[in-house]
Amino acid sequence: MTNTISAEALRAALLDDEELALVDVREVGAFSRAHLLWANCIPFSQLELRVDALIPRRSTRIVLCDADESLASLALRRLSHLGYAHVEILEGGINGWTAAGMELFSGVNVPSKAFGEFVEHTYDTPNIDAEDLHQRLEAGDNLVVVDSRPMREFRAMSLPAGTCMPGAELAYRVHEIAPDPNTTVVVNCAGRTRSIIGAQSLINAGIPNPVMALRNGTMAWHMAGFPLDRGGERYVDKLSDESLTRAHACAERVARRFGVRYIDLNDLDELRAEDEYRNLFLLDVRSPEEFAAGHLPDSRNAPGGQLVQATDEYVGVLGARIVLTDNDGVRATMTASWLLQLGWREVYVLEGVSDADFSEQGEERQSVLGLGELDVELISAPSLARLREEGRVNVVDLSSSRHFMQAHVEGARHAVRSRLHELIPVLPTRPWLVFTCEDGVLSRLAAADSDEHTDARVAALMGGNATWADNGFTMVSGGHGMDEHPDDVWMSPYDQTGRIEDAMNAYLDWEIALVDQIERDGTTRFRRF
């Protein structure tokens, strides 16, 4: 008999101090329309790709939810096969949750977004509107604008006067561009959360400058009719000794105020020795470039600002232990202070780390559970090209719909892995069925569990679409071969078609309303210091 948990029992579990992973296994589009506040979206389609990083301990208590238990039941069996031993299903899914009078939330990264609103409401973080900022910039006021988003987002669009300084980098690097205590510092992001958290970070750090958040970020700037830059590369690279001294002073003030705890490598080894009964997340909060140049073995990259902005994308277990690291403690300390305010109880900063300890190089390696045991036929790009020319193959692309729209094998049909059992029977009758995706990993997983749905010879394209393109074969763009309304992605206001300004206003209204909604929900543990 399937293990289930009632809505009431789940709510009680969310309020105690034990570790718990609440996982919504629907696609992110469906998830974004309605979900439990503390649910992590790990779609059934991607379980093997994401669950090890988000829920490393196999004995973790996991509660699965979906709309009605159907997909969660499949996920339970899949997780059990992968070695997870304590898995339950929410009775009735999210429908059962609402029937019990509980709150549902829309959007993504909701705990972090709600926390941003809590911070502004609690600390009355100063802000400036787009029109006033524009006027002050035009007047040549003593003012700098720092953008708290990662460089990828900054390049996409930014304020013309802005300098990229993501999240935890603010208290680390701001002294380089605002050494004069009379210089006003304005922090912006695309909307609200990172502007608020960024500005309050500098205030908490005790910099002498006036600090404000740009109210409603680049969205407000756009709706006010002011131009945005594209492809900007403005950032602070090198730091002077004086800037570093000021940054360390900021970290020390923050550590004292928020009770940040520090451990050394020996302490870390002791925590690692307890991973059979506690989840441990070792997160490097530096930039992706710094991480790739050298990092601690077994650490994951979680740039500090993004970790606070989207905690659920890096840590999948409530009540888990979190250890943060960087090269000198400043960015890790700033990040730790915010996680403590978010309600995480066991957060540590790793100190005493030398350059020699950052012995691992390269990007973070993805752990795909069960991949090594698969017996899947792989087909080369030239072989697939011949089958296509002969009309002997159905090609099914499991990339995200966003990537499929950008580039895919001509004639390919887009699909979501969890719904392959619906698609395969209606495909044209052909002797071959070949799966592909961006890098060839997800397609191998899909090929392994699709034999029962077809009499065709099933294979996966070796290396996926990347290899297809590398071999010189044509990729096409557009939505032909894709469902009219895919639900595997969340659409930001900038992704919307039609009146983008309406989407922006709706998004901003949603963020502001989160303060009242979390009050009704009653399961947050946000802390005021």
E strand spans, 462-504: 475-476
Distances (CA, A) of 147 to 204, 215, 228, 305: 18, 13, 13, 11
First vs last Cα of the chain: how many Å apart?
A: 46
Coil vs helix vs strand at 256: helix
Find all residues with CB under 8 Å of 77, minimum gap 6, and list them.
Answer: none
User: 435: number of CA atoms within 13 Å, CB side?
Assistant: 30
Sign of the Cα torsion 182, 143, 115, 296 reads: negative
* 490 vs 332: CA distance, rounded Å: 29
CA–CA distance from 276 to each of 47, 139, 279, 321, 361 (Å)? 21, 61, 8, 13, 27
Rounded to whole angstroms, the Cα distance separating 168 from 204 reads: 12
- The per-residue pLDDT for 237 is 92
Written as tens digits, the pLDDT of the chain (529 aa) is 469 999 999 999 999 989 999 999 999 999 999 999 999 999 999 999 999 999 999 999 999 999 999 999 999 999 999 999 999 999 999 999 999 999 999 999 999 999 999 999 999 999 999 999 999 999 999 999 999 999 999 999 999 999 999 999 999 999 999 999 999 999 999 999 999 999 999 999 999 999 999 999 999 999 999 999 999 999 999 999 999 999 999 999 999 999 999 999 999 999 999 999 999 999 999 999 999 999 999 999 999 999 999 999 999 999 999 999 999 999 999 999 999 999 999 999 999 999 999 999 999 988 999 998 999 999 999 999 999 999 999 999 999 999 999 999 999 999 999 999 999 999 999 999 999 999 999 999 999 989 888 999 999 999 999 999 999 999 999 999 998 778 899 988 988 877 899 999 999 999 999 999 999 999 999 999 9
pLDDT value at residue 152: 95
Cβ atoms of 69 and 62 closer than 8 Å: no
Identify the H or E element spanning 395.
Answer: strand 393-397
Residue 54's CB is within 10 A of a number of other CB atoms, namely: 20
- Confidence at residue 214, expressed as pLDDT on a 0 to 100 scale: 98
Structural domains of the chain, ranges and CATH numbers in brackets: 4-108 (3.40.250.10), 115-249 (3.40.250.10), 255-355 (3.40.250.10), 375-476 (3.40.250.10)
Helix runs in 82-207, H state only: 93-99, 110-123, 130-138, 151-156, 170-177, 193-205
